Each structure stands twice: as structure tokens, then as C-alpha cells.
Amino acid sequence: MGLIAAGTMVLDGWVRRPGWLETDGPRIVGCGAGSPPRPADANFPDGTVVPGFIDMHVHGGGGASYTDGPTDGGAIAGAAEFHLRHGTTTTLASLVTASPAELLAGVRALAEAARQGTVAGIHLEGPWLSRARCGAHDPAHLRAPDPAEIDAVLAAGGGAIRMVTLAPELPGADDAVRRFRDAGVVVALGHTDATYEQAEHAIALGATVGTHLFNAMPPLHHREPGPALALLRHPNVTVELIADGVHVHPSVVGAVLAAAGPDRVAVVTDAIAAAGRVDGAFRLGAVAVDVVSGVSRVRGTSTIAGSTATMDRLFRNVNADAGLAAAALTTSGTPARALGLERVGRLRAGYDANLVVLDGDLRVAAVMVAGRWRAAG
């Protein structure tokens, strides 16, 4: 058993100063406000302890990409380890649009990584997306949902596929939403040119997430509100925000938090292999990407291609606008609930002992996964 104390802890959604928690093996067995019941095994009097970050939309980092899993045996573990050092204790690895054969190979590689516990599951971002809003996805491989392909992908995933992003206006999208929901897969709307009404229809069918809100979808207009407003208005929908100051203005992040509440906002990195690396040339699937001043764009265009962010940076950004409790909820509790993940997302008795220790500047000082301390920084 191990007893941890800190000057500040976010326990079950509440900020406690000071606070403590106790672990036994991989689980939290007790926690509370104030001084610990006995001398702590690990004490962080100037630190802040928060739930381990949960990134439900990330393509890679540290020079490695989840899409390279079929050809590079260390790519999946390398990307996950990079983000773990920045506090991400639960990763939903995202694949991008690819050919049918490449998609299945990518799913199989990540499914094996999920079985080993390297990642918590798979997010399919494509190939069932809008050409008009494809962003950094390869338009040559975009296609409408096909029942046979969906069944093949689900079979290859073996239960590891947890979320899929699709454009609800595509032919066959209604059946796709139903098929994925019946399989227990969270359906997200994104990379879409849908109308407000089409988005509402998909939500009624069972879509519950908005992929990187405002990005790769029509802007909100007072006569044609588009999918963003439909996603924001529905109480059962969680909206992703890439709160890096590049994808959406910080004031927009604040406005969305105020309108929807932090219990409906999941902060995501959408990071690519370039995260943690110097500027230069990279790839996102088959698409060439250049990173300049930390911003990744499709080569030769102004189109943003993922990000170079890490969850600890996004945590600091949300904290600066909305405070510590909101930062912890949007980076952990909300994504856990949106994905239906059990025993993660909060620091409370019975939950996994996944936590991040932040220093006085809210930078990662230590990371614990399932009761074991891991390297950070």
C-alpha cells in the first residue's frame, strides 16, 4: 500500500488543499481532504495531484505515429510512451483515412496493442468523411460507409474499436451509425459538411461526440447554424476541443466551456508524430506535413494537420481560463464518461491509481499508472 499527500489534489472532482489518497496495488483504496491519516510515503507539499489524462483523439508523438503500427513494431509503444511522460495515462489511438487494406492492417496492429494494454482502444477518424471538409485526410481514399467494410473493420478490431468519426450526410451514414452503436462503438460526427438538421438526425440515431468542434465543419452562421450548434445544444453530446490556441481561439474555448459546461467538453491533442520534435517534415498517414513554429500544416497549404500539443499543455490552458476543477474534468473525467471507460477519469476509492503530479508551474513532475510510478518529463 502507498499513501500520497499533496498541497493540492483534485479528488472526485473537488479541489482539496491539502489532500491525500492511498493505493493498494493498481487501485485507489481511500482518499480525503486535509492531512493524511499517517505519514505519507510520497509527499508533494508544493504539488498538485490530478487524475491521469485521457486523450481520446491522438495520432502519435515523439516522432512515432499510430498509423505506422503495421510496419514499425515500436511505433505504437513509442507514441504512447511519449504521451505518458506528459501525463496521458489512457490513450485512444487514432487512425486516419487509408485504403481498405491499410485500414484493416492498422486496426489489427492497434487491436494487438490494446490487448497488451499499451493503448485503451482505437478511434477511427475516417475514411467515412466529407471531401469538402477532409482537412489533412487523403481525399483519394475517402468513401461512403459500406456495411461489408464496417463488418470487416469491427471483426479486425476484436472489440478494441471504441469510437469512430464519420460525416452523417454521406450515403449509408444512418445505417453506419446504427451498426456501430449496436456494436458498442461511440459514434462521433466530424469532418462533415452536414446541415444543422442532418447533425440533429445523426444525434437522434445515437451519435454522442463532436470531433474537434469547429474544425473541419461549416462555421456557425446565424441562418445556417450547421453541425456545431447541433452538437453544442444537445445535452447528451460531448464535444472535443483542441485547446492549443491554434485550432480554436482561447476565447472560443472559454465560451464553449461556459455554454456546454466542462462535463460535456473533452480536451484532446489531435497530436501527430511531430509532437515533442523540432520543426520539420512529417507525415500524417499518406499526407505530407510541414511543421513551422510548432504548427503542423498540409504541405503547400494553410490546412492545419493535427497538432504538436500534449495533454499537460492543454491542461494548463484550460486551467488558465476556467480553473483547476474544469481542467481536470475536461482532460480526464469527461473523456472517460464519453467513452464509457470504467474506473478511470477520477481520483476516488475503487478507481485505478492513474494520476499526475504537477509542480508549481503545473508541469508534469511524476506519473502513476495502475499504482506504479513511471518516468515523466
212 is in an annotated binding site: yes
Q: What is the dihedral of CA 56, 66, 218, 180, to 10 degrees?
A: -60
Distance (Å, whole) CA 262 – CA 152: 36
Residue 54 annotated as binding site:
no
Separation of alpha carbons 89 and 355, rounded Å: 8
Indicate left, alpha or beta for 87 from its phi (over 0: left) and psi (-120 to 50: alpha).
Answer: left
Is residue 191 a known part of a binding site?
Answer: yes
Q: Which of 328, 251, 205 is nearest to 189 (CA)?
A: 205
317 is in an annotated binding site: no
- Which residues neighbour 352 within 8 Å (Cβ) at sequence distance 6 or greater? 26, 27, 28, 343, 344, 370, 371
Quote the CA–CA distance of 351 and 369 in Å, as a whole number: 11
The answer on whether 306 is annotated among ligand-binding residues is yes
Cβ contact 141:99 at 8 Å = yes
222 assigned ligand-binding residue: no
319 is in an annotated binding site: no
Q: Which three cell numbers stand for residue 162?
A: 471504441
Q: Does an H or E element contain 205, and which? A: helix 196-205
CB of 93 closer than 8 Å to CB of 123: yes
Secondary structure class of 178 (helix, strand, coil): helix
Strands 60-61 and 238-241, by their bridges, are unpaired
Catalytic residue among 55, 68, 244, 270: 270
Is position 156 annotated in a ligand binding site?
A: no
CA distance 352 to 197: 40
Q: Give the largest CA-CA distance in the chain.
A: 62
Assigned C-alpha cell, 362: 503545473
Reduce the DSSP state of residue 159 to 3 states and report it. Answer: coil
Asked if 219 and 213 touch (Cβ cutoff 8 Å), the reply is no
Q: Is 247 annotated as a binding residue?
A: yes
User: Catalytic annotation on 46?
Assistant: no
Residues in binding site for Zn(2+): 125, 191, 212
Which residue numbers belong to the known binding site for substrate? 136, 215-216, 223, 247, 304-306
Sequence ranges of the binding site: 125, 136, 191, 212, 215-216, 223, 247, 304-306
Catalytic residue ranges: 270
